[in-house]
């Protein structure tokens, strides 16, 4: 009889432990879903930041190119005022001198 009571008590303890562990697993599962949702949100934010970075890099590259072109044109304008007899019309920012010849870079 005592053995039977101990067995029933053990069964109740096992059921209580199983219920506790089931609740814990359910909690962890819900937490996992929330964390996965947060990861996806952060990934989307990161992708958006990457797009912004690409646009910003393109804008900075354009700014640098425009600045270079403006400086080049300013230098040619200054040189043409000093050496007014020379023809600077063939010069351009994409040209370079190789072996005494003006060629495309």
Average pLDDT, the chain: 92
Which domain covers residue 70, as residue numbers?
2-104
The pLDDT of 41-53, averaged and rounded, is 97
| Residues ≥6 apart with Cβ < 8 Å to 97 | 103
Between CA 89 and CA 76 the distance in angstroms is 9
Residue 91, classified by CB atoms within 10 Å of its CB into exposed (0-12), middle (13-18) or buried (19+), is middle
| Residue entry with tokens 């190789």 | 98
The residue ranking higher by pLDDT, 15 or 4, is: 15
- Per the structure, the count of domains in the chain is 1
Task: Tell me the β-bridge partners of 98.
Answer: 101
Between CA 61 and CA 69 the distance in angstroms is 12
Q: What is the dihedral of CA 83, 86, 92, 97, to 10 degrees?
A: -100
| Residue entry with tokens 């060629």 | 103
- The SS3 assignment for 94 reads coil
Over residues 87-97, the pLDDT tens digits come to 888 888 888 88
């Amino acid at each position: 009889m005592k053995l039977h009571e101990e067995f029933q008590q053990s069964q109740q303890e096992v059921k209580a432990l199983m219920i506790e562990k089931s609740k814990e697993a359910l909690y962890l599962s819900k937490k996992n879903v929330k964390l996965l949702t947060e990861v996806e949100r952060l990934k989307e934010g990161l992708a958006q930041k990457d797009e912004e970075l690409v646009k910003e890099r393109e804008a900075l590259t354009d700014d640098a190119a425009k600045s270079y072109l403006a400086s080049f044109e300013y230098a040619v304008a200054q040189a043409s005022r000093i050496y007014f007899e020379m023809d600077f019309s063939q010069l351009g920012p994409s040209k370079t001198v190789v072996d005494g010849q003006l060629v495309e870079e």
